[in-house]
Amino acid sequence: MKHKGAYPPEWKAIADRVKAEARNRCIRCHHGNSREGWRILTVHHLDGDKSNCRWWNLLALCQRCHLTIQAKVDPHTPYMLEHAEWFKPYVAGFYAFKYLKQDISRDAAIERMAELLALELV
């Protein structure tokens, strides 16, 4: 996936907020922020656009998980398998934006999860 956009001027504050909301743990593997074993907490842009700071586009991931996700997950490519539980709210928010042109909250994405995840299967 090609990266685009530029980080906004307030990126550090945004990244700090995303990490704090994740309780300073990787949302995928749950490791805390640590230099040992490549577990330094980062923020991944799901759609590759560094200027897109919507909640569903910002995933608090340790470096190890970040590299794995970045190398394998392209939200613009249809995905016909079931998503991992930790990933479902983010991809539901992405699908709402991609298919319905709706910028919804995390709570709305969780509430409408089945409907939104089904959009990719159509």
Please report, for the chain, the start and end positions of each structural domain, with discontinuous segments joined by +. Answer: 1-73, 78-122
Q: Does domain 1-73 have CATH number 3.40.50?
A: no
| Structure letter (DSSP) for residue 119 | G
pLDDT, tens digit only, all 122 positions of the chain? 556 889 999 999 999 999 999 999 999 999 999 888 779 999 999 999 999 999 999 999 999 999 999 878 888 788 878 899 999 999 999 999 999 999 999 999 999 999 999 998 86
Are residues 4 and 49 in contact, defined by beta-carbon separation less than 8 angstroms?
A: yes
Instruction: Give all strands (DSSP E) within 17-63, no chain letters.
Output: 41-45, 58-62
